[in-house]
Each structure stands twice: as C-alpha cells, then as structure tokens.
Chain A
Amino acid sequence: MNNKVKNRLYIFLVTSITVLILGRFVYVSLKKNTVYFFSPTELRYQTEIPNGLIRIGGMVKKDSLIKRKGNQYSFIITDFKNEILVNYNGIKPNLFTEGQGAVVEGKLNTRTNLVASKILAKHDENYMPKEVADALKKSGDWKKKYGK
C-alpha cells in the first residue's frame, strides 16, 4: 500500500466513524418519534390521552368481533396484558379475523375505547399450505410452534 492509499483509507475511516456516531444520535431520536403504532400497554402508560389520529396494534381478541347492522363492527385489540375496545364502520380487509394481528387507526374516546377510521390487517411471517396448517392445529403442535 502506498502512502496515498493509506491517506485515503484514514480519511475514510475517520469520516465513517463520525457518520456512525451521528447516525446513532439520529437513530435514538427517531426511535422516539417514528412510532408507527402503539400497543395497548404503551397507550396505558401515556401520561395524557393523545388527541389526534392514533394507531394501535395488537391481536384481535378471540370471540370479541361483533358485527352490528350494516358495516359496523366492534372488537377488542389486545396485547395479552391490556385491551382496547374498537368501534369501526367500514369494510374490513380479508385477513382481518379473530386471533390475527391488526393495526387500527382512529381517535380515542376514552383511554380504552377507540373509534377507528381505518383497519389494517397484519399478517405474520409464517407461510404454509392449508393442509399443513390443519394438521398442525389438529395435532396440537400449533400452539407449541406459533403460540396462539
């Protein structure tokens, strides 16, 4: 390695370390501000109830989805510690069912009640054919593997 290459390598190392440190600061400050959704527990520990639109994510609790007249639904979003009752008027996505993850966007009425204007279904990272899923559920391995 000649001197020129060495010099450039030093400049590169110093700049990249500086950038990494700066990036760390950006990351820490972003982490506070870029919350895509809150979990019910996180919402519970907020000091004041957020006023505007807010997103809450979690599981749709089993046996909590009730269809009222027309397109009106109510259900409970849970993270297995805290729950939030959601009222929604509109079309629900295909994958939105009980026991699946979902993100709801809307305004809080009270600390535990949300009027949603939008529902987004979350799906997990597991892919398998229907027969396999059925077999797993039948044998009881489903709970062991996927925990719901």
Chain B
Amino acid sequence: MNNFMKLQFAAVSNNESFARVAVAAFVAQLDPTVEELTDIKTVVSEAVTNAIIHGYEGNPEGVVTVSASIINHTLHLNIEDSGLGIADVEEARQPLYTSKPEMERSGMGFTIMENFMDEITVHSGVGLGTRIQMIKQISNDLTQMN
C-alpha cells in the first residue's frame, strides 16, 4: 500500500500539537506500535518546533510544510520551512548544542530525531530555509492483523 499526504500551516506554536496528531493519524493506517507512534509524534514536534523557533524566529507569517509518504510499510517524512536556514548543520546536530540557550532550548532536538528514526537527512541553506527528511520502517507483524 502506498499513500501520500501534505500539510501547510502557519509557524505558530499552537500548530505543533496539530502537526504531530495529524501525522500520527496518517501513520495509523500502518498499525504501528504505541512506541513507534510516540517516536513519530516526537520527531514531528521537534522538527516543527525548530522551524518555528529557529527557521522563522517566531514570525507567524512563516509557513511550515509537512509531507509524509508511505511506501511499502516505510514512512518517509519531510518537514520544511523557508526561513533563515542553518549555517553549520553539523554543529546544529551535535547533542546539547543550541543557538538559543537563553530560551531554555535543551539542544536535544536533532539527537532525538536521529535516535527515533532510521535515517535523517538535513538540507539547509542560509536565507533559503531547511528541509528535514526522515525515514522509519514500521513493524509489520502479521499476527496483529485480524
């Protein structure tokens, strides 16, 4: 079964829960485990929060795009913004690194994304925005099927 969805929304913090619940509802058709679903909700929350805080620096006119594809029981997730971009992606991906310590950011967003998903690729350019692509295979336990 292959399937696709795409969402666009304003870069406001109210939409963080909307984005993760929407993606979780889309992924539900693969019968993921509770743990897999929580992993996916968490990484959506991390990437969307990054877009809002860092990409657009809180500018509500920014637009965040979330798209997800299901290809053979594998979830392909894209989260993009057209904001400021990241000058040094390697530095940003270091555990505990944050460019905004004064906002009490923990610097764990990318580490969580790397741990909860099978693959992550970050494309970013200063002034161009950031696109995070993540892949996760969803377990396909036939004994769970009716």
> Are A and B part of the same complex?
no
Binding site for B on A (CB under 8 A): none
